[in-house]
Structure 1
Amino acid sequence: MTMIDTLFGLIPQASRGEQWVARDLQLINWGGYDGHHRVRLSPGATLLCGESGSGKSTLMDSYIALIMPHTMPFNGASNGGIVGRPRGKDQRNIVSYARGKIDESRTAGETKARVLRGDGRDTWSAIAMTWVDQTGKTFTAVRAWYVPSAARSVDDLVQLRATCDNTFDLRMLEQASKNRLADQAVKALGLRPHNTDKEYVARLHTALGIGAAGDGNKAVALLGRIQAGQQITTVDALYKTMVLEEPSTLATADEVVKQFDELSNTRIQMQTAQQQVNALSPIRGHRRAICDANEQIQMIDDIGTFNAPSSTAGLWCLGKRVELLEAVRADLETRRNSAKSEFESASVVAEAAVAERDAVKETLRVSGGDRLANALREHEAAERRLGPIRQARSRLDNHLKVLGRTAADKDEFAALVEQARSMLADEKARESARDEFADARSHVKDLEKRLTAMGAERKTALAHRNNIPNDLQQARAELAEAAGLTLEQMPFVAELIEVRTEFEPWREAFNLALGGFATRILIDTAHLDNFRAKINSVRTARRIQFEGVPTGLRDQISLNDRELPGRLEYRNSPFTAWLKNELAQRFRYVCVESPRALGHHSMALTISGQTSDGRRGAHGGQGRRNVLGFTNNRLLKLLDEQINALEEETAGAAKRLEHADAALKSFENHRLAYSVVAELAWGQVDVDSVIAERDRWAGIIDDVQSGNPEISRLQDLAKKLDAKVKDLGGARARAEVKAQDTQNAFSLRDTETEDTLQALNDAVESGQDVSEQHRDYLTELFSTNDGGDAPPEKALDWFDMAISQVAKLITAQRQTAEAAISGARRSLAIAFSSFVERWPNPNLGTDPDASYGDFERVLDELEASQLHELQEQWRDSLLKLSGNDLTSLDSELNAAIREIKDRIEPINQILAGLAFSDDDHRLRIDVRDSHTAVRAGFRNELRAVRQTIDQAAGDTEREQAYLRMSKVINRIRRNAPDFGDLVDVRNHIRISAEKLNAADEHVALYDHIGEKSGGESQELVAFIVGSALRYQLGDGNAERPRYAPVFLDEALIKADARYTGRAIQAWRGLGFQLIVGAPNDKNSAIEPHVDAQYLILKTAQSRSWAKPIVGVPEGEGQ
């Protein structure tokens, strides 16, 4: 490529001059640049140098604020090349630049920024850049912000985005700023305002020719990354990041995923339709059940009740009853006639038997039968008295056995009765026996209660493992629960101390000396106020003493074992140090062996528990329960001994109760026996006298009968005739009753038959009738209750009973039908509700009656067409996805790799015209394929899935093909872990740079940029990035880029003048205009290769300005 030197720098000789270069940059109130500033830029290369913090990057950031998106951070050099993140509060931003933030100060805990302007008042800021092309045409872009005093973020600002096709003096905005940059005021200055960033950026890209095919955002983003000096370590990453945009394979994969999701949606709709059919299929059965049940209820309503003659059921019953009554009447008539004949015959026979008996008795009386009759009566009376007297005597003998007595005669019995009455009158003996029993029983109960209480106490002691009484522990637990504290946070003093083994005999004395202090609860003072507030409403049966004490004190107290505190062991706890100190001060009793030694000490204690405190003292209380100790082993042992003693005592008391109970029962048995004896008289138990009387009358009967043998025969005959008369009389009476009963029954049935027949005739004459359907229904109901072949009377009874049973059956059938309707309606409501819940539809209700038609239409549509259409659509979509989309993706993967390789060629053509390293060498971009087993397997699976779908003949095969395809599709989704490796073809190749000599022979390979020196890496990056920028700007095939400015913030400071010059030459050889920022100590290598140079200075008041070292004359570039 032949280059010529022009006012705009080196440009290709064949260029038509279509290029925009930045001519000047204007600032007003931007960062440290207070007021208006203007920097003229060379068309070739301009250097901005200065000390760190002088304001170089502030100028660079103004360019970012003017043309780049809000995601590009300011101050790329100082921010370490961070890109792609919105400007945050910790980065420089429009508000801080507009106010000229200097630093921050902290006063009274509040951070305040020190600014050059806008402190408590409104201010404004503006940036403008003017570009010019080779024809002299100019274009200016303006960004301005009105900053209210209360503004905290960009959203609080009034923003101006404007352009004009001419030059513009930024100072003219001063008047518009007074109107808060209103559109009318801006238009009056010749500017064209743009309401949105999108509109503004589109105007910039169109006017300045930024971006190929209208996509200027990528080009501007690359300009931002170049300015920020983004660090990339490999040629491969550099080229893929800078040059290659997102390949079409990603969009194709997205389209495949989209088509598959549509297919899945169709499948879901098909499955949903099938599920809907399954959900609604039962409703027809429910509807039929409702209709059948309604017909049953209608039938029951039509026939009416049996007790209403006007009803169908009543009319049918009348007819049936007439039929049965006529049969009963005929049967009764036959039975009546038969009973009448039987009565007449029985009367004749009975009268003959009476005449015969009377004749025999008269003969017997004449033969002496009166004396015999009297003897028989008396003998029978004696026999009757003998039974009760024997029973009374047997009862008396049983009680006599209890008493150990006998009563053989009247005198002995009289003496026994006297003794019984005397004994029953003695109440003291009875009370004595009862008192003895009551005392024994009360004693046993008391012992059992004590044993139960002691067992409970032992169980509680096992749970707590301390010696504190149960009521105190219960009260502490209630207070702890109310206060939200644990028991460990509320220890009793006694739980924290134990008597040392060698001083065990003093345990009782120590318990007496400590007294109530041992059962005091200790609480951390930090919890005391809250504890008092929380427990105030708690009521406990036992009063609790507590004390707030400091915790965590150092244990530095030395104790003397001659005193009580020194003879104790202490459990390690937060309260221990305080407790030792408290005991040492309040209970410093000297332990003495004799009470005579008590007066020798201010405070002393004897082993019996007597204390002395000066002239005061205390004694007594021995035998109290021990409360001291870390454990309650001693208490458990004592409780076991007491329980054993109580068990022995209880066993003895139980034996005493058993004896008392036996004595009381014996006394009561004797008393009962005596009471029976006292109630009897001798005549009630004198069996021998009654037997003697019975035997005497038996002797008289024998005498009479032995003297006249004929009397016995006549007596026997008279007895037989009496029995015969009695039997015949009974038969006659029964025959009479039977005849009368049958006559009465016949009369009743006859009347009933006539009445029923009349009622039936009346009903028929009134036009009532029973339909065949109703008759069949009623006949079927009575078929199991018609009495079968039973007699007419029985059949009628069965019919009468059947009426109530059938009525109950009808009621049950009605209830069953109503329940069936209710259940079916409930099932319909559930089905409808479930359907609407799963598939909401505002046009569908859930009423089982009103909505049934809608749901049946839905079911009909699903069964008739929708499900079938969805199944066809599912098959077509599956074949389409296989035939088109999967094929397209497979082809696109191959085509995208070829396209990347094809795009390398124009970049290499640009690089071929630029000397690299020296005039005899060039740089070339090489690309090679990167194969992996994962990608190969994926491509094979892609083709296999297509084949599987093509071969699928039935629903089962298509479903299997779908499931297999879903696994493939899930791998090419954006969020899939291997999406980038499979679909992004940029990962399918590896890019490197090759250094060639004049003969196109290989000299060196450049892969890892970081392995090169600073100068080499700068030159390499310049060549590759420059060519990439040409490509992104859309000028890859042109002789020069239409948009020339490139800002480099501290990007050319790592090499000597030779390599820096070659890097700058590379940029300029590609047709770019350079604006380079560098610190003072790094600019010497750059100065020989720039056309203009500015020194950025800052005053002591933090105000910056650009001092031209090598300036650009006015008019240059126009």
Structure 2
Amino acid sequence: MTQAGFAFDDQTHVLTQLELFNWGGFQGRHQAIIDGAGTAVIGPTGSGKTTLVDALMTLLCANPRYNLASTGGHESDRDLVSYVRGISGPGDGGAAQSHIARQGKTITAISATLASQEHTVRLGALFWFDDSSSAATDMKRLWLFAVSPEQTIEHWLMLHHEGGMRALRQQEKQSTGIWVYPSKKAFLARLRDYFDVGENAFTLLNRAAGLKQLNSIDDIFRELVLDDHSAFDRAAEVANSFDDLTEIHQELETARRQQRSLQPIATAWQRYQTLQQELSEKQEISRLMPVWFAEQAYRLWRAEADRLSDAHGHAEQTQQQLQIELTQHRKRVDDLRQAYLQIGGASIDDLNDRIGDWQKNCGSRQLAADQYQRLVRNLDLSEDLRAEVLDANKREARTRLDILEQEIKAAENNAYRQGADEQAIKTELEQLKTEEAEVIKRPGSNLPAQFQTFRTALAEQLNLPEAAIPFVAELVQIKADQQSWRGAIERALGSHRLRVLVPPASAKE
């Protein structure tokens, strides 16, 4: 029977596909295609049949009862955390439940696709832990409702990998046909509104999925549909509460005050959640940045290595080509040299060597000629470079040299005589200066200085003052107005004037 054989209208949606990623014992991504004509899920115990159904119940029910089909409709210790962590075992709390497939940081995604003749809707949920915790309060959740075919489980996982919850939440602003809900209550409200069903519809489906016997349907239908007295009980409670409106008002006021006092906590909690989300995103970025930089560095270095390899290969080819050309040129040079020698190249080489020597000598001789011309110019001789002029200049230079040597010798003799005369004059001048000093020292005496010096030495030897041993000339007394005759009088005394008179007591010594 095909899907068209069922009595479905244009608005009826049929489950067409289930997708799982890291859900329960299903590691990685798995896909189950549901045939509209009917699909049976079969397999041995523990193969994951109930796990597949529980994934759908997680998307449809507010509080799904897990593993009902395996436990015969009884309560199970399976919960959402056990499916996210991948805890294996029968789900009855026994010792066999011991293996945790996904420890540490992990993410789980489930998706269900429902299609009608005109529309397709995809329901999805993502659950993840950022650490090794297995507490339900540490598990982050996000619910997705999409009508766009571009919104797939692979796309959601990629967005979460790149930007975490923030990237998924941005989908509503950046794309159309996608709604993201951090709250399951709002998500289920959107489902019930879209499919136009009541609150018990999905719960009934959850209970029916765990039936082992068909006669149990009556009990479930009666419990969830026919015997729903919750509305009547609530009406009775409201009627009874009219008698206590004052107390209700007080409770409302108390609740308002409590709400106002708790509002900062709620605001702080929202702020905390936002900061926690930002921290998670930054931690994820911090974790991924080294990998990204490593990939970029590897790509750049790989490109650079390829470029250098190509350049090296090109250089080797160029080197080989140049080596071939060098060999050819060397052979060409050898051939030309042989041909050159065969046509008399050796004689030409000798001539070239001699020409080179002559050119060197020519340069040195030209320099000598320039120096010679400057010299004869200073001597007022002819600058002609002819041999006869050169000989005449040599004879003239020799004659001048002889005359100059004679003049130099005469000048040297004259300088020697003048030096001797100068030395004699200097000696006489020194004597005169000495006598002048003695005269200045003894202005009243005309005695020569050497005799004065002799008397000084004699006085020191005899330990007498100079006045105690006078010269004879000093004993001559002349009138003051006749002092100009002292020199003549002393000369008249002759050599007696130079006699020194020594006291008798000192004369014995």
Alignment TM-score, normalising by the size of structure 1 = 0.20
Higher RCO (C-alpha under 8 Å, 6+ residues apart):
1
Alignment TM-score, normalising by the size of structure 2 = 0.42
